[in-house]
Chain A
Amino acid sequence: MTASTNPVPAAQPPLSAPLEVGFDYTRSLGPVLGRFVDGLRERRIEGARGSDGRVHVPPVEYDPVTARPLTEFVPVAEVGTVVSWSWIAEPLAGQPLARPFAWALIRLDGADTAMLHAIDVPGPEHLRTGMRVRVRWAAEPVGHIRDIACFVPEDTRHEPGPLPAPPPVAERADGEPVGTVITPIHLRYQHSASPEESRYLRALEQGRLLGQRCPECRKVYIPPRGACPTDGVPTTEEVELPDTGIVTTFCIVNVPFLGQRIKPPYVAAYILLDGADIAFLHLVLGCAAEEVRMGMRVRAAWKPREQWWTTLENIEYFEPTGEPDAAYESFAHHL
């Protein structure tokens, strides 16, 4: 084995980068919520009457008292009374208004429960509990809670200020009821790698494959672990590994999928570098897919040096070295 061992030099701060996570949640509505958003599309609001006679707005699907499905719909007004409120001086992404506004619980005339929504007024001094407000409808209702763009004081004659774009609409035949709502969810994070992962990623930028050894079980992990999964202690001792190893196990990808960058068939394989105790997933190219086998010796095919950065993608794929295969017994305990 050509693995060499070095003490870990002084720590640099862990690598960290912005991460944006986004997904359009698509939800089926069912008969109660479906009817409610269908009404919004036509600029009317309906609640559901509970077993105790109370009218719930927005409607609830099941009675809070008896847990029975609710089926009696009751039209309510688009004006109502502020039950309580709070002021948001710096609106957050995705909220109904991009200028300072109030969040409020509003009880619409004809309803017994209050709904949460936004009120558009210039400042908190324009608000009080008990004040009367009315719906400001979106310019183009689509069948979504955001068809209610916000509320405004009842006596507001003009409707100043722009409104956000309507939410996306699920495909449906013209004239069909709304069966599905789409809600885009986007969140921003600052993602941090562990100190061990950061050392590994910085080494990759220099074309080096850096593992770390657990001080207790002596196993070498690449990428190194924040803690050894056997012993629960951080890996510490640095080990530089060669770019040669073996295929422990593999699969031939025949199925096309969204975002695929190589034309099938191709081989995704677990590569166990010489001197490492854990395999990682990579590609095996440079031979026909059916020639790949367990125990096959492979070597990294690196991208041109000027394309290297802090990623294992610096290795484009692994390719056969032509050396004799490793005996099964030599890697059986790494499967």
Chain B
Amino acid sequence: MNEVAVVGFAQGHNVRRSEGTTNGVEMLVPLLAEVFEQTSLSKEDIGFWCSGSSDYLAGRAFSFIAAVDALGAFPPIHESHVEMDAAWALYEAWLKIRTGEVDTALVYGFGKSSAGQLRRVLALQLDPYLVAPLWPDSISIAGIQARMGIEAGLWSEREMAEVAARSLADARENPLAQRSGAEDAATLLERPMFADPLRKHDIAPVTDGAAVLVLAAADRAAELADRPAVITGIEHRVDSPTLGARELTRSPSTEAAGAAAGGDGVQLAELHAPFTHQEIILRNALGLGENVRVNPSGGVLAGNPMFAAGLARIGEAAGQILLGNADRVLAHATSGPALQQNLVAVLEGRD
């Protein structure tokens, strides 16, 4: 079967609040132009289009249909959508190329989290019978998860603050980041609790944003990029939706996906960890050693555009190969409460 490579990637500025519509058209139009310029492709060259977004985030039904205007979808195109982070849209596009049905695909994700009250909207990802009717918010659930690890001695508030300090420091080099900073962990720990045991630095910000990525079959990819990032493994797994039955201090689905994707020997990893302690869970689940650079982009603690942030992790990791900064990288995306669903991709440069 065809190998598949990332040949182009663009993302919008991560911002706390945008003036745009919830269908993302304003943000997507310039990003599409950017990837077409990177790859010398035009919309007529794209074999398959796939997106990730959410009607609950937009507050209206079939909101992704309006986004299709941004593509210039006439004559009619071959298009699909997932109501998940666009990393899962990438998986669908990867399959289309693997099976030989198409040899190029464009994947995009977008979300205007600021339109509603994000942590309340996310309660609707929970079991609709016995959990969602209580409206437990995403931050509270992550707080329960964080405390379990703290009290079991698996991580400390200080280690969580160190994740935040490193991410915000790295984000200073990322012009698209929503927030960045130079404070050390000790300073961050002096801040008050926001949702005990979480402080604000432990929580990814509410972010509006979008990301666009172009995939191509490996033989085609060589024409489109100097150094395509070949996806050597990609897997996604899911843990139980029943929070009280899960081992919340571990991520068995990430462990399984990471093992199946084959992450040995990666130089850097972009991890989708919307809470500081989740980065620690993910590092352990993926067996990433001290020598693996994590989230040089600043990660989602520096900006977390819902439904685009997971795709952006793959784009950021692939970008390190496209730019010649790394040879073998890992990218991770998550969806659902407390790391319920996880996708791992391993990418390699081939000179």
Contacts and interface: CB of A to CB of B under 8 A. Distances in A.
Interface of A: 13-14, 16, 19, 21, 25, 27, 29, 33, 36, 56, 58, 60, 64, 83-89, 92-96, 103-105, 107, 113-118, 124, 129, 144-146, 167, 181, 183, 185, 187-195, 197, 225-234
A113 B242 contact: yes
Given A33-B129, A116-B134, A187-B120, A103 B115 contact: no
B116 A188 contact: yes
Contacts of B43: 232
A13 B18 CA distance: 11
A152 to B, nearest CB: 16
Given A226-B26, A227-B25, A232-B29, A129 B130 contact: no
A229 B129 CA distance: 40
Contact of B137 (A58, A92, A225): A92
Contacts of A181: 129, 133
Contact of B115 (A89, A145, A190, A194): A190
Contact of B21 (A19, A192, A230): A192
A129 B248 CA distance: 15
B128 A103 contact: no
B240 interface: yes
Interface residues of B, number: 63
B93 interface: no
Given A87-B193, A88-B195, A167 B137 contact: no
B244 interface: yes
Given A56-B245, A105-B244, A225-B69, A167 B133 contact: yes
A29 B20 contact: no
Interface in B113-144: 114-117, 119-121, 124, 128-137, 139-144
B71 A116 contact: no
A74 to B, nearest CB: 15
Given A84-B248, A116-B141, 19 more contacts: A14-B21, A84-B147, A86-B142, A86-B143, A86-B147, A92-B119, A95-B134, A95-B135, A115-B244, A146-B133, A146-B134, A181-B133, A185-B124, A187-B56, A189-B22, A192-B21, A229-B68, A232-B70, A234-B26
A85 B147 contact: yes
> What's the dominant secondary structure at chain A's contact region?
mixed
A27 B133 CA distance: 12
A127 to B, nearest CB: 9
B120 A93 contact: yes
Nearest to A183: B133
Contacts of A93: 120, 135
B148 A83 contact: yes
Closest 8 pairs between A and B when the two form their complex, measured CB to CB: A86-B143, A232-B72, A114-B244, A189-B59, A226-B25, A87-B196, A94-B135, A230-B74
A48 to B, nearest CB: 12
Contacts, number: 184
A84 B21 CA distance: 39
A191 B56 CA distance: 13
Contacts of B145: 84
Contact of A232 (B69, B116, B120, B151): B69
B323 interface: no
Given A187-B120, A189-B116, A60 B245 contact: yes
Contact of B144 (A56, A86, A144): A86
Contacts of B128: 25, 27, 183
B240 A64 contact: yes
A234 B70 CA distance: 8
Interface string B85-104: 00000000000000000000
A9 to B, nearest CB: 18
Interface in B302-344: none
A233 B144 CA distance: 46
A227 B130 contact: no
Contacts of A94: 120, 135
Nearest to A197: B21
Contacts of B197: 86
Given A83-B148, A85-B144, A187-B121, A105 B135 contact: no
A113 B245 contact: yes
B330 to A, nearest CB: 29
Interface in B1-56: 19-23, 25-26, 29, 32, 43, 56
A187 B59 contact: yes
A103 B126 CA distance: 15
A92, A104, A228: which has the most chain B beta carbons within 10 Å? A92
Contacts of A145: 129-131, 133-134
Contacts of A193: 21
Given A93-B135, A105-B244, A232-B69, A87 B195 contact: yes
Nearest to A87: B196
B52 to A, nearest CB: 19
Nearest to A150: B134
